[in-house]
Structure 1
Amino acid sequence: MLSCATIRTTTVPQSGEELSRQDIHLQIRYTFPQEALRLLRQSGFEVMHTYGGWKKEPLTSASPEMIFICRKAG
């Protein structure tokens, strides 16, 4: 499991005064395509399309990303 932390701040451009701060902590666990499909179906989703990238490339073992287009079944 991978842990990530992001800090997002909003500041006033002229003075640099901080208006807001948001700390975001994520736990990321990578999955294989077959596991992702199983988890989506178990959660009640119908998988419409799968892609290996945002340009709708086929999902292969060399794909840099996994994109699933789903809709809630039922």
Structure 2
Amino acid sequence: MSKRSVLLDAVCAQRRQMRLLLALLITMGLFTALAALFVRPGDRSFPILVIDAVLVVGGIVFFGVTHWYCTKRAMSE
């Protein structure tokens, strides 16, 4: 087996935990959106809000695509 196949098997074995992580990231996204209502671009906490939003959206995209791929891979096997 190739290293890529072993890595994908290890990642896809954690598919159940990805659902929990996605739920947590979505909740964090909702809290970030709530904070965005009160923070303006001139505030000192605005850079933290931007970094948080980038991390949350990036995490949702990464784990969403990974979960989709692992589900598709499990259905084809």
TM range (shorter): under 0.3
Structure with more of its chain in helix, by fraction: 2
Q: Computing the radius of gyration over CA atoms, which structure comes out larger, 1 or 2? A: 1
Q: What TM-score results when the alignment is normalised by the length of structure 1?
A: 0.23
Q: What TM-score results when the alignment is normalised by the length of structure 2?
A: 0.22
